Every structure is written in structure tokens, then in C-alpha cells.
Amino acid sequence: MRASVIFMGSDLPPLYRLGIVGSGQIARMTHAAALQLGITPRLLAEDLGDSAVLAAPDAVFSHPDALASFVQTCEVVTFEHERLDLGLLERLEADGMAIRPGVTSIRAAFDKMHQRRVLLNRGFNVPIFAELRSPDDLLDFTNVFDWPAVIKSVRAGLPGQRSHWIVENRGEAMAVISEQQGRELMIENYQSIVKELVVLVARRPGGNARCYPVVETVMSDSHCKEIRTPAAIGPQVAAEARELALKIADELDAVGILAVEFFLTPDGLVINELAARPHNAGHLTIEGSPTSQFENHVRGVLDLPLGPTRMNAPAVVTVNVVGAYDGVDPSQHLAEALAVEGIHIHLYGKSPFPGRKLGHVTALGDDLDQASELARRGEAALMGRRPV
Amino acid sequence: MRASVIFMGSDLPPLYRLGIVGSGQIARMTHAAALQLGITPRLLAEDLGDSAVLAAPDAVFSHPDALASFVQTCEVVTFEHERLDLGLLERLEADGMAIRPGVTSIRAAFDKMHQRRVLLNRGFNVPIFAELRSPDDLLDFTNVFDWPAVIKSVRAGLPGQRSHWIVENRGEAMAVISEQQGRELMIENYQSIVKELVVLVARRPGGNARCYPVVETVMSDSHCKEIRTPAAIGPQVAAEARELALKIADELDAVGILAVEFFLTPDGLVINELAARPHNAGHLTIEGSPTSQFENHVRGVLDLPLGPTRMNAPAVVTVNVVGAYDGVDPSQHLAEALAVEGIHIHLYGKSPFPGRKLGHVTALGDDLDQASELARRGEAALMGRRPV
């Protein structure tokens, strides 16, 4: 179907202005944003049928160790995921390659223990946490903190792979530890969550940064089902979340999009997780903002001026289209879904599989209820259901 | 770089839901709109470096006669240009292939004499016209009508090829005829043009249709420099233009986008030209409308419900980025252009050449002056000029 050649040798000028490591829907939408600006990125892809590969003429398929030669073919390289060899990235960065975001950000997103330590050391509010390498670690932690607790995988899992477990007692915790043998784990105190919030920061090398309005993610069955902006929070909490996100971006010297996930608890904002790339909660910026998170990611990593991050409407809502157990293929229901007036449908070209993110639907409106109702009607139509 | 196989044999099911014949920027942006809906179109492309080829993983390169086998690999085929073998298309349509728009529309767009005859026969207001096959034809026409006159090529030229000439006298007309030997020519009476307007109609097979607001094209050096909506015309003229465009779409049984170009003259609306595809004047719908002309073209040709065609802002202006004689490459000026706050930059990946359309800049605003000023600032920055 296609064949590509990677040219080797550091004396050659880079062939591509932008390389993207990864080939899922984040890479697909980042690729589309670059194309609009006249830039055809090269992908370092995983599988011929991947979402971004279906959309990108310049994809190379390769062992992950080919990263070094891939990087040499591009002026700037950015990343869709955190499943990377950090040591190799460090050497490439030290050799002067434009790895964006830099290894400092990638390490913080990649290694959740490291992320917690960095944030704690710099005075940010994170859950109480500990390594969980043995039953002794469990005992040490639970001697001091109450149940329930949260066990997490230190490294990001593969797409669809579970990475955290709420455990109510020692038995449940031990079961997770034994089930997840071979994965590095950590344990945290459970947060009483009023709301889950995400702030996206777009940042250039050197520190120029812009922040999107706070979005609220609505979970259902531990999947993020709906993303809404404005978040239903007071202006002080919103200002605090944005300020914290900008500070964290500065501390990590983030470049491109940094997504900061917060828990809003009865005691205030607690940092949940960081992602050093465009984020699922930011898809609503495609139609919802003058500059999508993907375009601002491209602008940021290429050190180009950032675009406006305000919203285009009083309310913007995205509903994720997630594979169901009945195996329904949303691409077979496009006609019904497009009949829902005024929604924006995005399908990622992925074959349906239970739990897999297959697409999303965005609606702009005058208020959250109206936008949410529209987006949910579109999602239901795609999934061959009547809307709830 | 890539290799593709076209499967032959009419017993095989089509491999692609949508095929696009052509590989310029119209194909590139149509491709992007299809991708968003989860559809990867196949292109029948002309050249490896073409704008759409840089953006499309599934491009096949082939002799134009390969159209028949290309059509067999796709459920639906649409067209970026009118440089087609109409006889072949007629046979394919008669064989039941989904050629969209149908041959009736394509023929009207392809052959300007035929277009004039069809529109005249159905009572639409067109310039007075005649074939121009010999100096005798010229004499016959100019015996009855005054100078100046307009000589046009009956068939669409190649991109960048001149297709009409305003001639002031017999000598100038004879010079065009002798220069353009081998091209079919026609002659028309000169229109006194107050404004040039375009109406885009999106239409499904069977007749369901929607119409975008009238846009005004501002010409400079016989190039369309700026496209503005709303057009600075009264509501009655606007309503009449939209009504005429919808009627023409019905008469031609148009599918996808039909662009109707009008001259507004002191005596009212005169139809200038038709294009049976997304049109340069419709690029402002990408950010300017909830549904771009490209998405509505894809929806129309696939017989999917059409999307809203209203505008997102009180004023939307696009300025074309056209290659200059100094050879400046706008992709080298992205940083300066992106620093113009609030514009949308589209570059087509084409190498700069004088007169070649390299991209466009769109701005939304509260009034036309503001939007136009912004878009012109963006275009000037891309071309390395200070804004006028």
C-alpha cells in the first residue's frame, strides 16, 4: 500500500518541518491542524489501520527504536502519547534535537510518581501518595491513611488499558497488586470529588502562554462521557484553576498543549493528572474556539504565535462516541446523526470495539442544557440508540 | 514513495465510499471535510506534488482514461474540475455508477456554450452570446452588438490559464482569435458590472437543497482578491439571487455544491458562470458557517442530510493568497501572519508561482471593514508586505 524511506545521517537537512510520534485520533487531529497551515507532518506510526494513518500520507512504520532516525528527518518532533524511551529522548534533546514538549514535561506526564513528587516539591496541592512495590508499602500507607484508597499504574497504559482502581480494603488492594504484577504501581488517598475539571494551556518555548476556559468532564462508568464549558463553578475557582495550570506549565517548561486535570473537592482544587499533549477534553475547541487545541499545539511546538483561546459560544459541549458491547458502527449511522441539526460530528475511522473512543460530537449553544441535549442526540443517533 | 493498486472487475464491491477526481486545493479541502466524518476518500490525482496529494493517503496517479476503473473502486465519485471526458462519464452514469453531480450538471459547467443555451432556454437572464468559430462569426455578432465584447474559452482552462478577454474592437478580437487557435471560443456582449456575486447551493439527489448567504467577490487585476459576506446589496437582490441559484440547481439536478456566479448590472442580475463543485468564493464557509461548503458537498454527493448554511458572524471576509512576481513563499512568513490576532490561515502546500492560488486568510468580525482589514493584514504578512 505504501512504502517510505527514512534518510539517515545527521548532515542532511530535515525533510519535514513537523514529526508526530503516534497514530491515534490525537495525531489525526493534530495532523489536520498542521495541514491547514500548509504543513504536512510525518508520522511515526504503529499500525497500518490506525486512525491517523488513514488520514496521513507521510506515515512511517517502525520499531520504536527508530525514533532516533525519525527525529533526524524532522525539524521538530512532538508526541501523541507517553509510551516512550525517556533515556533516548534525553540523549536526543541533549544532541540539540527539537523534542517538544521537552523531556522535563514528558517525564512528568509519563511517570506519575515523578509527577507527584515534582508537583509536591513545588508546592502544588496533590493527593497524598506513596510507591506501592510490596505488601509492606501497602501496610505503611494504610496505617496512616484511611480506606478507600486509589491504586494507580505509574506509567500510562495502552489505549483502553485500565490504569487506576479504587480499593475499599486490604483484600481488594492485594487483589489489584497481584493482578497487576509487572506494572509499577502507586497508592494515593481517595479524593472526595465534587467535580472533575481540565485546564488546557498552550505555551511556546520561552514562556509565552495562553489558557483555554476551564472545562468540566462528566464521568459515567469511569469513562469521560461529556465535556462542558463553561464549567459550573464560581469565577474564583475558575481563576484559580487557570492560574495553577499556567504555573505548572511554567514549572515544567511545557511546550504545545499541557492539559491539567483537577479534582474539585470540598477542600478546594487538587491536581489529578497532567498530559503533555492535546487532550480528549479539548476536542470541543475545534469548533468551540477560534483556535483549536490542535492548532495551538502545532503553533506552540513550532514556536509560532499562539491563537485566541476564548470560546465562540456561551456554551460548548462534546459527547464522546465510545464503542458499545453491541458492536454498532457509528459510521453506518451517519445519515441519522447528520439529521440532528447543528451538531459537529467527528469520526476517527476506527473499527468499533467496546470501550474504544470512535469519535465525538460537539454542539455550540446559548446554554449548557441546550448544547448538551443536542450533542447527546447526535451521539445517540450515531450509536443507533434513541437519545436518553 | 507510494504505490497503489486499482482493483478491476465490476463484481467486486467498491473499496472506497467516496472518490474525488482531481488533486488541487478544492480536492484537499473536500478531503479534509470527509476525513472529519470518518471517511477517507480516494483521489484520482494528477501530480505527486499536488496540493491534495500532500494531504491524502489514498491517491492514485493515472492516465485520465483510468477514470472508468477508478469509478468502479468507489461507491460515489465527485469531481474537482471540469476537464473530463463527458462521453465516458455519460456511459458510466448510464451503467449505474454514482457520478455526482450528474452529467447534466457537469456538462453545463464544462461547456460554456451549452451552459448559456440551457440557461437561456429555461428563461434565465444570461448575456447575449454566440459561437466564435471564424472571423465571419465575429462579424455577425459585432454587426448586431456594440463594442466592447467579451471573448471566452468554451471549455474551462487549466489552473492559471486565461479564459476570457475583454476586446474593444475588431483588431483586438482578431488578435485573441489567432492567439487562441485550437481552443473553442465564444463571444458575448459586455456587461456593465456593478458587483460580482456568488451564491452557493448545496443539494442532495432528489432535490433537498440549502443555500448560503450571497457573497460578493472583489476583483483586482482580473483576479478574485477578496470575498465578503454579507454582500453589500439590498435584501430584494439577495433574495432574488438565492432564488435564481436554487432554481438553476433544480433545473440541472445539481448534487453537492453548485456555485452560481452573477453580475449585478444596472439592469439587474445576469448569470455569469456556473461551477458544479465547491468554489473559491466559498472558502469563507470553513470558519464562517456551521457547515463548510466542503462538508455540505460531501454530504450532498453521499446523499446525507445537509448542514446549516447560515453565517457564524455578522461579517466574514476571505482574502486569497496569490503567488507574486517576487516569488515570496507564504509558508516562510507563517510566524508574522499568525501574529495577526484572530485570523484563520489556510495554506495549500503549493510552491509559489506568480498568479497561483497558494492559500487564503479568513476573518470573522462585527462588520465588513473590520473583518476585511484583519484578513488583508494576514495576507500581507504572509506575502512579506506591509498591509495596504
pLDDT category, A6, cuts 50, 70, 90? very low
Q: Which residue of B has its CA nearest to A345?
A: B37
Residue A158 reports pLDDT greater than 80: no
Q: CB–CB of B388/B376 below 8 Å?
A: yes
**Which regions of chain B does DSSP assign to beta strands (E)?**
16-21, 42-45, 59-61, 74-79, 98-99, 129-132, 149-153, 164-167, 185-189, 195-203, 209-211, 215-220, 223-229, 256-265, 268-275, 315-322, 343-347, 357-365
Expressed in angstroms, the distance from the first to the final Cα of chain A is 43
Q: Mean pLDDT across chain A, nearest whole number? A: 92
**B14 prior amide bond cis, ω within 30:** no
**Pick from B219, B196, B223: nearest CA to B324:** B223
Q: What is the structure's pLDDT at B66? A: 84
d(CA B105, CA B83): 13
Give A135 to chain B, closest Cα distance, Å.
47
Residue by residue, DSSP assigns A41-55 as PEEEES-TT-TTGGG
Nearest-5° Cα angle at B299, B61 to B117 = 80
Does the interface predicted TM-score (ipTM) exceed 0.90?
yes
Q: What is the structure's pLDDT at B4? A: 44
pLDDT category, A65, cuts 50, 70, 90? low
Q: Inter-chain contact A345–B37, Cβ cutoff 8 Å?
A: yes
Residue A106 reports pLDDT greater than 60: yes
Residue A2 reports pLDDT greater than 70: no
| Cα A362 to Cα A35, A160, A243, B29, distances in angstroms | 22, 22, 27, 20
**Cell digits for A262?**
483537577
Pick from A56, A335, A346: CB nearest B304: A335
Residues of B in contact with A3 (CB under 8 A): 1-3
**Which regions of chain A does DSSP assign to beta strands (E)?**
16-21, 42-45, 59-61, 74-79, 98-99, 129-132, 149-153, 164-167, 185-189, 195-203, 209-211, 215-220, 223-229, 256-265, 268-275, 315-322, 343-347, 357-365
Q: Inter-chain contact B3–A1, Cβ cutoff 8 Å?
A: yes
| pLDDT, average across residues A185-196 | 95
Q: What is the structure's pLDDT at B12? A: 58
Pick from B54, B345, B359: CB nearest A57: B54
Q: What is the structure's pLDDT at B13? A: 66
Judged by a CB distance cut-off of 8 A, whether residue A15 touches chain B is no
Judged by a CB distance cut-off of 8 A, whether residue A299 touches chain B is yes
In a 10 Å sphere around its CB, with 0-12 CB exposed, 13-18 middle and 19+ buried, how is residue A328 labelled? Answer: middle
Give B307 to chain A, closest Cα distance, Å.
7
Residues 236-295, chain A, touching B (beta carbon < 8 A) = 287, 290
| List of chain B residues with pLDDT < 70 | 1-13, 64-65, 222, 387-388
Pick from B32, B38, B339: CB nearest A348: B38
d(CA A20, CA A76): 9
Nearest-5° Cα angle at B358, A305 to A287 = 50
Coil vs helix vs strand at A152: strand
Q: Which residue of B has its CA nearest to A302?
A: B335
Give B284 to chain A, closest Cα distance, Å.
14
Bridge partners of B185? B132, B153
Percent of chain A at pLDDT > 90 equals 81
Q: Which residue of A has its CA nearest to B2?
A: A2
Percent of chain A at pLDDT > 70 equals 95
Q: What is the structure's pLDDT at A81? A: 87
d(CA A202, CA B43): 35
| pLDDT, average across residues A365-370 | 97
Structure-derived torsion over alpha carbons of residues B61, B349, A22, B342, reported in degrees to the nearest 10: -140
**Cell digits for B125?**
437572464
d(CA B301, CA A19): 34
B152 backbone dihedrals φ, ψ, rounded to 5°? -130, 150
**Cell digits for A167?**
480499593
B365 backbone dihedrals φ, ψ, rounded to 5°? -160, 180
Residues of B in contact with A73 (CB under 8 A): none
Q: What is the structure's pLDDT at A12? A: 57
Coil vs helix vs strand at B169: coil
Q: What is the structure's pLDDT at A84? A: 85
Radius of gyration of chain B (CA): 21
Q: Inter-chain contact A40–B55, Cβ cutoff 8 Å?
A: yes
- For A71-98, b/e burial (b = at least 16 CB within 10 A) is bbbbebbbbbbbbbeeebbbebbeeebb
pLDDT tens digits, A266-295 = 999 999 999 999 999 999 999 999 999 999
Q: A with B: how many residue pairs have Cβ under 8 Å apart?
A: 111
Residue A11 reports pLDDT greater than 60: no
The percent of chain B in helix, strand and coil, each rounded to the nearest 5, is: 35, 30, 40
**Pick from B283, B275, B284, B281: nearest CA to B254:** B275
Q: What is the structure's pLDDT at A227? A: 98
**Cell digits for B104?**
447534466
| Alpha helices (H) along B122-226 | 135-144, 170-179
Q: Which domains does chain B have, with CATH numbers?
A: 16-99 (3.40.50.20), 128-189 (3.30.1490.20), 195-382 (3.30.470.20)
Give just the sign of the alpha carbon dihedral B96, B102, B108, B109: negative
Q: CB–CB of B357/B379 below 8 Å?
A: no
Judged by a CB distance cut-off of 8 A, whether residue B55 touches chain A is yes
Q: CB–CB of A183/A153 below 8 Å?
A: yes
> CA-based diameter of chain B, in Å?
60
Q: Inter-chain contact A35–B2, Cβ cutoff 8 Å?
A: no
Coil vs helix vs strand at B321: strand
Determine how many CB atoms are found less than 10 A away from the CB of residue A126. 17
pTM confidence score: 0.94
Pick from A40, A342, A344: CB nearest B349: A40
Residue A10 reports pLDDT greater than 60: no
Residues of B in contact with A299 (CB under 8 A): 338
Residues of A in contact with B38 (CB under 8 A): 330-331, 334, 346-349, 359
Give A339 to chain B, closest Cα distance, Å.
5
Residues of B in contact with A334 (CB under 8 A): 37-38, 304
Q: CB–CB of A215/A244 below 8 Å?
A: no
Determine how many CB atoms are found less than 10 A away from the CB of residue B164. 17
Q: What is the structure's pLDDT at A16? A: 86
**Cell digits for B251?**
433545473
In a 10 Å sphere around its CB, with 0-12 CB exposed, 13-18 middle and 19+ buried, how is residue A241 labelled? Answer: buried
Length of chain B in terms of residues written = 388
Q: Inter-chain contact A290–B342, Cβ cutoff 8 Å?
A: yes
Q: CB–CB of A110/A103 below 8 Å?
A: no
Give B384 to chain A, closest Cα distance, Å.
16
| pLDDT, average across residues A308-318 | 98
**Pick from B62, B115, B127, B71: nearest CA to B94:** B71
Q: Inter-chain contact B349–A55, Cβ cutoff 8 Å?
A: no
pLDDT tens digits, B328-358 = 999 999 999 999 999 999 999 999 999 899 9
Residue A3 reports pLDDT greater than 60: no
Residues of B in contact with A335 (CB under 8 A): 303-305
Residue by residue, DSSP assigns A229-293 as ES-SS-HHHHHHHHHHHHHHHHHTT--EEEEEEEEEETTEEEEEEEESS--GGGTTHHHHSSS-H
